[in-house]
Structure 1
Amino acid sequence: MKIGDTRWVLEYLQQRQLDDPNFFYAIQVDKDDLIANILWVDAQMKIDYSYFGDVVCFDTTYRKNKEGLPFALFVSVNHHKQTTVFGAALLYDETASTFM
C-alpha cells in the first residue's frame, strides 16, 4: 500500500460501521503489525446469506487488481439464478494461514 492508504482504508471501514451497525469488517495483521488481509460484510450481504446461504462458493481472482493482491469473494446464487455476494476480502497472499 502507498503511504496514507492504510489510514484511508481504516477510516472508510470505521465510517461504514458507524453508518450501518450491521456492517462488519476484520483486519488481520502480519508479524510487523502491518495490515495483511481485510474482510468485510455489509447488511445486504448478511440478509442475502440468510436467504441463499445453503451453498457458498469461495473464489479468489488471481492478482487481477492493480495492486496485485488476491481478491476473494464468498458467493452463491439467488432464486433468480443471479450471483449473490455474501462477503469480500483483500488478501496479502494465498497461504493456508490467510485462508483460515
Structure 2
Amino acid sequence: QHGTPSSPGELAHHATLSFSYLWAGDEWTFTDARGAVTRVRVDPAIHASNGDLLRDLAIAGCGIVMQPEFIVAQELARGRLVPLLADYRTMDLHLHAVYLSRRHLPGK
C-alpha cells in the first residue's frame, strides 16, 4: 500500500507488528553507518508476546515486524520474508541463558 520503506521514518506510514517488550514500547531504534541514531514511534496493528506468531503474521502480510534473525532466518532464506532497511542496525537484543538452581535440591 505504501511501498517499501527506504528509511526508518517511513515506517510511520506502514502497518507494524510489535513484540510486547516492557522496556521498548512502541519506539523502534535504528543506527545508520555513521552512527546516527533514529527513533521511530510506531503504532502497531498487533502487539504479541510470541515471536513465532509475529513472524507468521508478517508472512500473512499483516505488517512489518522487527524480530531477531534466529526467528526469521528460515523464512528469509525461503524468500517468504525480505529484510528491510538493511543499511541500518537495530537495537541489541540481550539474551540470557537461565536454569533452575539445583543447589538446594536433595541428591538422587
TM-score normalised by length of structure 1 = 0.27
Which one has a larger percent strand, Structure 1 or Structure 2?
A: 1
TM-score normalised by length of structure 2 = 0.26
Which of 1 and 2 has higher RCO (CA within 8 Å, sep 6+)?
2
Which one has a larger percent helix, Structure 1 or Structure 2?
A: 1
